[in-house]
Structure 1
Amino acid sequence: MTDLNPSFFGRMSIAFGTFFSVLGNAEFAGRVKRLRDAPQAAAAPAPAPAPARPAPVAPTLKEASPEAALQLLGLLQRDARLIDFIEEDIASYTDADIGAAARLVHDGCRAVLREHFTIRPVRDEAEGSRITLPDGFDATAIRLTGNVVGKPPFNGSISHRGWKVAEVRLPKLAESHDARVVAPAEVEL
């Protein structure tokens, strides 16, 4: 059977689909009414309505583990003194003093990341490389920037290769550990 001469079961499917579409979509119902009211001899075949796009589904949100985030913050404080550096009022320091402190924080942060995470680039190509992103590319791993118009495939150049975590090796925490204490107070005796 052709599209212009559907089978009995094809017509049944069309009838049920049209019935529910008319009930749920006023604009579609108006087009069906105009089609039915038009004289049959003068009526040209109406273009098929665009397939209804499903309503966007809201992503399921999952709560992040505060304990893991607090544990990482504690590790960055312990090995890099990150919180001390961020909380310090640096307005009175010279650029050289800030640079020296930043070097220590940088080295400590790098050591924490390398000890507890395996981090790899999202894209293996060098920055500046030209690539083509096909339809269906992973939009969670690739962010389009610049003049984004149209549909894939997209052609562009890599401005940042991105990062993804391949492995996490955070230490296990004792049941009694309070992760909210990211750095205990120190009392010198």
Structure 2
Amino acid sequence: MKIFGDTNSGNCLKVKWVCDRLRLPYRWIDIDTMKGETRTPEFLKLNGAGQVPTIELDDGRTLAQSNAIIRYLARGSELIPADAYAAAKMDEWLFWEQYSHEPYIAVCRFQMVYLKKGISDLDPEKVKRGHAALARMEQHLAASRFLVGNTLSLADVSLLAYTRVAHEGGFDLAGYPSVRRWIGEAEGMLGLSPAR
């Protein structure tokens, strides 16, 4: 399997982390999104939307969208709860991550790290909604070890990707102790060095 990804992207790292956790063999093909490498004719043949991550399976089929990819790769593993309701709760977090978390936390980070904007230049609504996402996670994680019960699932992998680097987007995690505890535990279980 080939993973076409940019290591600066949390969405791409999710795929790598799942493969590494489950010991799935892959070849990483580095794609620099800032240099327009997702817009080349060759890449657009793999993914007409021109986005990473994209995987190419051994039989030549391709799959895009980070949460769809990790859902496919982790089928039958401990990263997806066996209980149908718990699996649906995991999916609930996966959908929430792409709609209510990533558009704010990741976008603010992108603007600060890659576009070199200052905190005062960020859209106040994005900042407000990013804090709302972190507050929701804090409330949930104050009562639960992981996002779905007491075991690591794809929900944790997905939300860890940008939450662990939220500070790079101007989000101070000091006020979110349960989120910080969860980040450390999830990073440890995935064998990741702590985010700086």
Alignment TM-score, normalising by the size of structure 2? 0.21
Based on CA coordinates, which of the two structures has the bigger radius of gyration?
Answer: 1
Greater percentage in helix: 2
